Homo-oligomer: A and B are copies of this chain.
Amino acid sequence: MNSRKEVSEAVIRRLPKYLRCLGELKSKKVLRISSKELSERMSLTASQIRQDLSCFGEFGQQGYGYNIEYLNESISKILGTYNGFKVIVIGAGNMGTAITKSDRIKNRGFNVVGIFDNNKDLIGTTIGNIKIQHIDKVKEFIKSNKIDIAALTIPKEQTEKIAEKMVTYGIKGLWNFSAIELKLPEHIAIENVHLSDSIMVLGYKINNE
C-alpha cells in the first residue's frame, strides 16, 4: 500500500504498541490526544511518535493532536488487520492450540481457519470449532481457501521442509515458532517467535540489571 521510503523495522514494531495504547484510550472514551500526552503514556518521546507516524501519512491536526478513533483505524489498516488474513496452523500441539484459541489474535483480524497435523489420533478432533486435518490435505486446503499465513508450530527438524512446501503452495507469510532461521524467497514474509531466545534474554537481564 504505502511504500514510500522503506520504513525501518523499529518503527514497524512500535505500531502494535501504539495500537494497544490507543485501544485503551478508546475504551476510556477519550477522543483526542497530542503526541506529548501519548509519549508520556508510552514512555517515548513526542518527537519519535510524530516521526513514526509521518512514515505513513498525516494523521494529526495542528493545535488539536490526533483523533484516537481515526489514528487507531489508520494503524490497524497499516498492519493489515482489516485484510481478513486467513491463517492455518501446522502442528496441533500446545502452541498450535494456544494460537487457534487466542481471542486476541482473532480480534486483531487474523482468522485461524484450519489446523493440520500428522498424528492420526488427532485427525478429526477439534480445537475451538476447527477440525484437525491430516497434513496431506494442506495443499488443497490452501489453494481452495486462499490461505495467507501458515503458523508453524512443529518440531524444528520438520520446519524447514514444511516451510518450503508452504511457499510452493502459495502462502504469503510464515509465522515460525521453531528455533531456526528460515531461508526463503524474498517475497515471503517471515516472522519468528523464538521462545527459547526470549527466555535467554531474560536470563541475561536478570544477571545484568
Interface, chain A (partner B; CB < 8 A): 1-3, 7, 12-13, 15-17, 19-20, 42, 78-81, 83, 85, 87, 93-95, 97-99, 101-102, 104-105, 107-110, 148-149, 172-173, 175, 179-181, 186-187, 189-191, 193-209
Contacts and interface: CB of A to CB of B under 8 A. Distances in A.
Number of copies: 2
Given A193-B193, A193-B195, A16 B81 contact: no
A195 B102 contact: yes
Nearest to A194: B16
Contacts of A1: 207-208
A209 B7 CA distance: 11
A95 B94 CA distance: 7
Given A42-B181, A108-B196, A189-B205, 9 more contacts: A12-B201, A15-B204, A17-B197, A79-B203, A80-B206, A87-B199, A93-B98, A95-B95, A175-B202
23 contacts: A7-B208, A12-B201, A12-B204, A13-B197, A15-B200, A20-B179, A78-B204, A79-B201, A79-B203, A83-B207, A93-B98, A94-B94, A94-B95, A94-B101, A105-B195, A105-B196, A108-B199, A148-B206, A175-B198, A187-B209, A189-B206, A191-B201, A193-B195
